[in-house]
Chain A
Amino acid sequence: EPEVTQTPSHQVTQMGQEVILRCVPISNHLYFYWYRQILGQKVEFLVSFYNNEISEKSEIFDDQFSVERPDGSNFTLKIRSTKLEDSAMYFCASSGGGWNQPQHFGDGTRLSIL
């Protein structure tokens, strides 16, 4: 069964450094998302992406965050100057056929900011 893949599985970064989280969505999907989950808390929406542009973003997705689809397969989340509170599990998801289709999640990248 096709799946969303994310790399790395765990990223440790010094505060203030830039980090790029990578995702390969399911190949025939057109809608892409990033979510995050701080330990012990709920899954929170960050951003959705379609047709090479951001469709929707939450209040969490401020100027330190950016997303990109650099080629036909990858979808990346960049955090420019990381803060301690950015420590979380980051999930990439994709869906096909429309915004009301099930979103399929990758296994996540655990980001630890020191």
Chain B
Amino acid sequence: GQNIDQPTEMTATEGAIVQINCTYQTSGFNGLFWYQQHAGEAPTFLSYNVLDGLEEKGRFSSFLSRSKGYSYLLLKELQMKDSASYLCAPNQAGTALIFGKGTTLSVSS
């Protein structure tokens, strides 16, 4: 089985930095994806980690610790358009992405 845990909601202000944590337990593991989903829209791919460590991609970075079953998404220089849900999705050595309920981030001015 699988269990994915993220905070339900977070708030931050424009220009700030926010870290969204994700812990997971899966029966197999083949990497972890982060997706962004604006309300009423499709998930869009942000990042992928398969090895331990930090992957940086512009304003967004993602970190993985396989031994701890832990990942985080770091968003820098927050903008209003970053208000969305952020979905942690481990790939458990199969084909499916198993999504958690996601973290809804609200960015205010």
- B-binding residues in A (CB < 8 A): 31, 33, 35, 41-45, 48, 50, 55-56, 58, 91, 99-100, 102-108
| Stretch from B19-27, B42-50, B59-67, B71-79 contacting the other chain | B42-50
A35 to B43 Cα, complex, angstroms = 11
Residue pair A56, B94 in contact (C-beta under 8 Å): yes
A102 to B31 Cα, complex, angstroms = 10
Number of interface residues of B (CB under 8 A): 22
10 residue pairs from A and B, CB less than 8 Å apart = A31-B95, A45-B96, A45-B97, A91-B42, A91-B43, A102-B45, A103-B33, A105-B43, A105-B44, A107-B41
Residue pair B45, A45 in contact (C-beta under 8 Å): no
A33 to B95 Cα, complex, angstroms = 9
Residue pair A100, B91 in contact (C-beta under 8 Å): yes
Q: Which residues of A contact B105 (CB under 8 A)?
A: none
Residue pair A100, B97 in contact (C-beta under 8 Å): no
A45 to B41 Cα, complex, angstroms = 17
A107 to B43 Cα, complex, angstroms = 9
Which residue, of B42, B48, B97, B102, has the highest number of chain A Cβ atoms within 10 A? B42
B94 CB contact (under 8 Å) in A41, A99, A102: A99
A50 to B94 Cα, complex, angstroms = 12
Residue pair B100, A42 in contact (C-beta under 8 Å): yes
- CB proximity of B8 to chain A, nearest CB, Å: 12
A55 to B42 Cα, complex, angstroms = 23
Residue pair B42, A108 in contact (C-beta under 8 Å): yes
> Of all chain A residues, which has the CB nearest B46?
A102
A55 to B95 Cα, complex, angstroms = 7
